[in-house]
Structure 1
Amino acid sequence: MKYTFSHSFATRLSIYVLSFTLIIFATIMALFYYYSQQKVTGFAIERTHGLLSNIATEISGQLLSVETTVNQSVWVLEKNIDHPDSLHNIIESVVRNNQFIVGSGIAFVPDYYKEKGKYFMPYASFKDEINGEITYQVLGSQNYDYPCMDWYLIPQLLKQPYWSEPYYDDGGGNFIMSTYAKPLFDSKGELYAVFTANISLTQFTDTISLLKPYPSSYTYLISRNGSFLTHMDRSKIMNETIFSEAFAKENLAQEQIGHEMLAGHTGTMRFNNKGVDSYAFYTTIPQIGWSVCTVCPSQIILQELDNTSRKIIYTFMVGMIALFLIIYSIIRRLVSPLEKFSESAREIATGRFDVILPEVHSKDEIKDLHDSLVFMQHSLSTYVGELRDTTASKERIESELSIAREIQMGMLPKIFPPYPERNDVDLHAILHPAKEVGGDLYDFYMDGNHLYFLIGDVSGKGVPASLFMAITRSLFRTLSQQVLSPAKIVTDMNNSISDNNESNMFVTLIVGILDLETGKLKLCNAGHNPPILIRPDGQVSFLEFKTQIFVGVIEEFAYTEDETTLEKGSKLFLYTDGVTEAENTDKELYGDEKLLKTLSDNSTSDVRTTVNGIVDSIAEHVKEAEASDDLTILLIQYEPGTTNN
């Protein structure tokens, strides 16, 4: 038989080896990717937070320089407080001396200078930063009521410097700015002015936008209330907060990121950013309470690792294909003798024990297989010869057993009804040996108006039991002639069987004589199952007769008999222990209770139907189990009436 490539041993063994290799590689690759992912992610977190820390430090430094410039200018202001027209020199100097300050002013409390009117706030700002041209103006009017503005009120209430929330200063700087406001107090502790320095948020935009740790990442800056100060999408600046964006997308993770940033925390969080798995790296700028955050897709962080992993996998797959071809070639060469051995084995199986096996020169398992096949050839040749002789002998024995079975069954009455000319008695019997021949027996004959009957069970099975059964039946026929006492018949049978019984076999017997005129029943039970009486009214019960010793055990034992009178329509049920001890596959016995119930259910049936009902019931109980004992039944029905002669 030629095997296809996909079914050959070499192919399957190669696949098994490669499958095991693939499992090991997949396990190693998974561990490598997992630990590499942890390492790459950790490096990304450390690197990005380092860049954010630098940005935060840079912005903090810029803000600190603004604060320092203002603080250092306070003493000049206080020195010239009585000369309001000279104050413009101070604020112009503040603007010129700090590159981050785009405007500066001194907002005096209302009516501080009576001659200047209610509002007086000298303010200087760059008109043209390229040329360094500064414009000066005095702010304060009903339209620019600065005492009501946050940058004025909050430091007044807090009595300490304050960085304002970013705002658009219409009438002052006319751009988005944040103001550092330092409250000034007189010797009595009364506020007399707020010294301000403005910074433009546009100067942070470039700095923040340049922070791109990875391609496709972006960085934004938020204020203390969560407003976007810088963002990749410029339409969000000062128009949206981090929370409005989170609420619009129902993004709880982004909302949590916003709370963490406003709380001044530094950290990393993985979240879903508009359908893209991303990382958020955030930190605070403690100088002003703002927070900066970098958002980066996780795929970008792991892109290099994924590319490297794919290269490794592709290289491995090419190697697997090459390895498969090499392994297949080697295994194919090693197992090629097996195909020849297979062909030789099939020829040996057909009976050709002299087939020449292929030569093997190696000293391995293939050589052992060759030697085993040679040994098998010689063993099979010898075994077949012996089997041929054994089969012939078995066939002779089976033929002899078949003849013995025919002889044994021929000794028993098997024509039913046996006395069709009589209507005062009817009976039916069956005998099913467990083997070819058995040790059960039944017999009956009519002598005038007396019905002689016998049922027995020889110890053991097979041929010895069948011979013992034949002797027992012959003795019954010989010794019962003209004898009206079952006890005498059994006693004489026991004496004959016990004499020279070197095999120590025995038989259980019930011998009975039924007077068909009177219904008188005499019965001797020699160790057999008690008979069952089925009364005309359907009641079923065991006959409580005395049970005596087996026949063939003790010579000269004097047996006794019991006597009863049968009513018209009564039935006498006799059987061997093969009925009640029939076992099913669960080793459960048929039992007396089931036998009595089945007889009760068939009490109104004729003898043939009743016997067949018992046999069917036993078969239903036993099912597939093997018969464990011979099965014998004899059923006699007494119906006294006119005898047809």
Structure 2
Amino acid sequence: MRNKAGFGLAVVIFAALIVEGISLLQYGRLRKLVMQAAERQSMVELWTKTEIINHTLESAEATIHDHLWDLSRNLPYPDSMFSAARRLVETNPDIVGGFITFIPGYYPGKGELFEPYARKSGGTVKVSQIASADHDYTANPDYLKVLAEDRGHWTDPYHYVDESEMDLTTYSCPLKDGSGRTVGVCGIDIDLSWLGDTLNVYHSLPSSFTIVLTREGKPFAGPSGSRVAGQVVRLLHDGATVPPQAGSARAGMIAFRDSLSGDKALLYYASRKDEPQWQVAQVIFEKELYGNIRKNRFIDFLLTLIALTALFLMIERFARNEKRLRDAYVDQARIGNELHIARRIQEEMLPKKFPPFPDRTDVDIFGSLKPAREVGGDIFDFFIRDGKLFFVVGDVSGKGIPAAIVMAMIHSMFSLASASEDDPVKIVKAVNAEGCRNNSAGMFVTCFIGVLNLSSGRLRYCNAGHDRPLLVGCAVEELPANANLPVGVLPDVQFEGQECRIAPGTTVFLYTDGLTEAKDTSRRMFGKDRVIGILGRFISDPAAAAADIVSAADREVETFISGTEQEDDLTMLAIRYNGNAAREWEESIVLRNDLGQVKELNGFVKSVTGRLGIGKDEAARIRLAVEEVVVNVIEYAYPEGHDGEVQVDARPDGRSLVFTVTDSGRPFDPTKVPAPDTGQPAELRTPGGLGIFIARELMDSIEYARRDGKNVLTLRKDLRNGARHGVQHRV
């Protein structure tokens, strides 16, 4: 029995050691998570408080600039300046004083110096003329600086004593007359006494505090008299940080110890970008960050040890307790503001500037994304490389943070793969490989990736289980798109790509199912028919912009749902292809009447078709047709033994590819040559005519003209053929 008891005690001790080791590891991980969360929380609080200051100062600046026109208009009436000063103070509750100083002698009737001043006092506004020999504002450095620099200026905060004491800062700006001449300085006083209490009214940790300093490191708001606050001032002012430069903001973190208690603390700081470049600093102590964790860790160890002693034969109970403890740790590590930060990060990943390419006329793009929750799982992006528009629209299964993480991964992989790859199928395969890696949650993504050649209108695309885009041109119709498996389902799945040619003036409208599945108060869905009806208003409308289409759909959805909370994200992307760039170039080549020049001709035609993004098979047919015509000219246009030239010009006209073959040989109209009887054996046919017959069959039209003693043969290939029929290929 003793041996059994000793063995049991050994098991308990060994298990306790294992638990303690696990607890230490979890404690280390939890410390790291708490530190990261505290850093995010501190930076959010810091930027929020900085925004409070920004709003107050910018509002004050706006107030004075809004009154400059009124002041300039009333300059001929010196007594009106008193009421103008009063209006400055009454307009903005943060303004406690307003003044208007004029250059000496501006109003002869008012004396050499004239300064109407309005000040709030006891709920009223008192207005007076305060300029005098004892109060010569022309000697004030701030007055002189505004006149010298001809721009607004903020003073450092200062302590003001009159009927009451307060901390003030003053903003001054030039006052100009109707001709633009500076005639004085207008300024306002802002009360800062509230600033320290307001910034310190709430902190996530009790002993945390916020302090505000000037650019040179002088504190003027917050608990600046405490020992730790003094240490913070020295850290920020004595070389630990570099003062902010004009026009730039900075932020950072400094770890230090309380000089008396030795407690570790973290100092987070940020500065304003514009004048005045004040610095806002926040201090948190590590003992508050980790105090509850240490206490909980000790209690958890005791409870676990007691449970092991009493139930060391019931190991399964320990497993359940351990799971409960892990869940408790995860719950403690969550920070309520995390979702908001995640949404801001997600928004930074999406296009925000519209129109994105203001200098281009060949394409117009507009997109929008409305997440159903704080963060969403939808994605859209686009960019132009090498004359091609790469774009993606996707929808991640699931909601919230997991979906947002997958969305970020898909976005990054799309950007990486499409930076060097033009084939949408290969891009989808690269995205799928990344989506299947470590996908234990089984999340998948439906997406549509396309590559639009902006010169030719050739659209290559791959649809991975997504809703088919809609084409808005002469009608509204679905783009033929095969339903491949979504991304992230199987690592080795084969994706099928397609291509078509988009006619100029056509809009490609892509969306996620959050549009068609938007629900009203009766749980009815918006549906695809309503979407098609909206797009139908823009049929054959040359003035319709991409933003107009998306905005119209957005308004209809908002009216339909009537404020009902939605279950899915809503994303729309409209791409209007104008095709203007296809008419902006022409290429030429001059050949000798030598069959050895055919190789150069083929290289020339290949360059032209490649520039327009024409498919491999169609490009080969065009090359054969041009070759047959040019070879005919080389062989028969000039007398034997005479040198001659053949000029070939190529240009797209928006709808067709046009080749013009010109020579100065004997007059000859190949279009009048009878077509050969291809039903007869070759040895029985009349010689000649086969080359022009082949060219006629391969091109859409051939025209001949004799101009200025030259033969001019024009071959035309319609680039719109197949514009609404996808050509499938498998990779």
- What is the TM-score normalised by the length of structure 2? 0.39
> Structure 1 or 2: larger helix share?
1
* TM-score, with structure 1 as normaliser: 0.44
Which is higher, the Rg of structure 1 or of structure 2?
1
